[in-house]
Structure 1
């Protein structure tokens, strides 16, 4: 079974406004409400690609109830821990001449809630997949990802981590199956600015030296690279298309990679399916579907 963890899920209110102007009444052209958060996005795209998962995390208030309802409507099973204080956040994504975001804070997660999460994670079995994705609320310990991996180190799990800076670096000694920084985040780890794919491979290898098994690096319009635990190197420009939505593209890449790997246990299939899933979400107002991903794979000869 695949499990995803989202510590601070949200309702994403995505609006399009023609020529947005500050200080004026602006009318929306389109409106979409999605359950959001990186782990949730992974679960939703996995479902679109034909793979079930189990979404874990925390929820609170009427917004938390709506997140659960929408996931159920999507066909994604969830088991969120209910938090008494506060509400699950609402994130506003404004699309106009530029993209802007206003992200909420989220509820007050206590130590008891974290203990409940560990009790859920204790049920994972050898062979299961766990996706730890996104930032964590300020009220939680900043080494939570590392603590989870340490806690589960006796189990034979495939753990995927999509996080930044210390959240990412701290898990490396516990040998995550996959990490997925973007090229800017990879550069931040080492205090450098990466100019080309060869430099990205060089620093991806340094993350492997620290313990990562597979390193997938997204590079927006420059595509992606993958360095595998058995020494394979993959690189590709993205499929051609018009970017209309940046929300969830990186999460879609993780979901596509995971779906491809689960289907054939082949890193080439996983890499190109991840690349095309990220692109399909970027080219659409909504998250990638399997038909869209396969069409893009066909367009690049994969």
Structure 2
């Protein structure tokens, strides 16, 4: 089973206003509501790709009920912890001039509720997959991902961490199964600026030496690199028009895991991850299985034995 944790879920309210008038009346041309949060995105794509998944985290109020009910309608299992207050609403205002985001704060989480989450995750067994995705809210312990990875990874749980900064850096020594920084987040970890694959190579290898079992570094339109004990690999991304980058990284994680739990094939999992991330980027919503399958033949992977191997595939 693949479990995902979203500590601060949301309703993502996407509003289209053709010409936004500040301090005036604006009428929506179109609106959409989705359950949001990185872990929830991973679960939604996993379900669309045919993988069994359960979403965990904290929800509250009428907004939390919407998140839970929508996931159930999509056939996704949930085991959320109810909290006081309402789950947040994140507004994405799309106008002819661009996109503006207004994110809510979310409810406060008590120590008892954190303990309940730990109790649920302690029940995971060898072979289970746990995805810890997104930032850690200020009201929660900053070392939560580190603690969970340190407890569960030695038990044989495949822990996947998709976070940035300190939350990511502290889990690496605990042997996470997969981490997925983009090149900006990787540079932040090491205090450097990374602009191309050749510059990324030594830092990806360092993450393996520090404990990560698999590392995927995404570089947007420039492709991605996979670092693993089996070797280092470079993947191209399909060509297409980027419509929406929100959820592309989450889709990459879901595409990788959906194939890995079914086949154990590392490179095919990498290929599916790249196709899923691209399919979401080329769509106004998260990718579908059909969209991923259409892009798969365009994803080319080659081994990187020496920096000279980097480049066009």
TM-score by length of 1: 0.95
Give yes or no for contact 1:160–1:176 (8 Å, CA) kept in 2: yes
Residue equivalent to 2:296: 297
Deviation at 1:234, TM superposition (A): 1.9
- Runs (5+) with no aligned partner, structure 1: none
Residue equivalent to 2:272: 273
Residue equivalent to 1:73: 73
SS in 2 for 1:130: strand
- Cα distance in 1 between the residues matched to 2:206 and 2:22: 45
- Cα distance in 1 between the residues matched to 2:214 and 2:165: 17
Change (3 A) 1:92 1:157: same
Corresponding position: 1:110 with 2:110: yes
Per-residue CA distance 1:69-127 (angstroms, 9 max, x = gap): 1111111110100112x210001112233222111101110100011001101111111
Residue equivalent to 1:260: 259
- Cα distance in 2 between the residues matched to 1:17 and 1:218: 32
Residue equivalent to 2:63: 63
Residue equivalent to 1:284: 283
- Cα distance in 1 between the residues matched to 2:80 and 2:61: 12
Deviation at 1:300, TM superposition (A): 4.0
- Cα distance in 1 between the residues matched to 2:57 and 2:9: 7
Structure 1 stretch displaced more, 178-187 or 267-276: 267-276
Give yes or no for contact 1:234–1:271 (8 Å, CA) kept in 2: no
Give yes or no for contact 1:145–1:167 (8 Å, CA) kept in 2: yes
SS in 2 for 1:31: strand
Per-residue CA distance 1:227-251 (angstroms, 9 max, x = gap): 11222x2222321111111211110
- Cα distance in 2 between the residues matched to 1:132 and 1:139: 17
Deviation at 1:21, TM superposition (A): 4.2
Give yes or no for contact 1:7–1:136 (8 Å, CA) kept in 2: yes
- Where in structure 2 are the equivalents of 1:203-242 lying within 5 Å? 203-231=203-231, 233-242=232-241
SS in 2 for 1:100: strand
Deviation at 1:14, TM superposition (A): 1.2
Deviation at 1:154, TM superposition (A): 4.0
- Runs (5+) with no aligned partner, structure 2: 302-313
- Cα distance in 2 between the residues matched to 1:48 and 1:277: 11
- Cα distance in 2 between the residues matched to 1:206 and 1:21: 50
SS in 1 for 2:229: coil
Paired residues, what number?
A: 300
Change (3 A) 1:146 1:243: same
SS in 2 for 1:28: coil
Deviation at 1:301, TM superposition (A): 6.3
TM-score by length of 2: 0.92
Alpha-carbon RMSD: 1.4
Give yes or no for contact 2:222–2:237 (8 Å, CA) kept in 1: yes
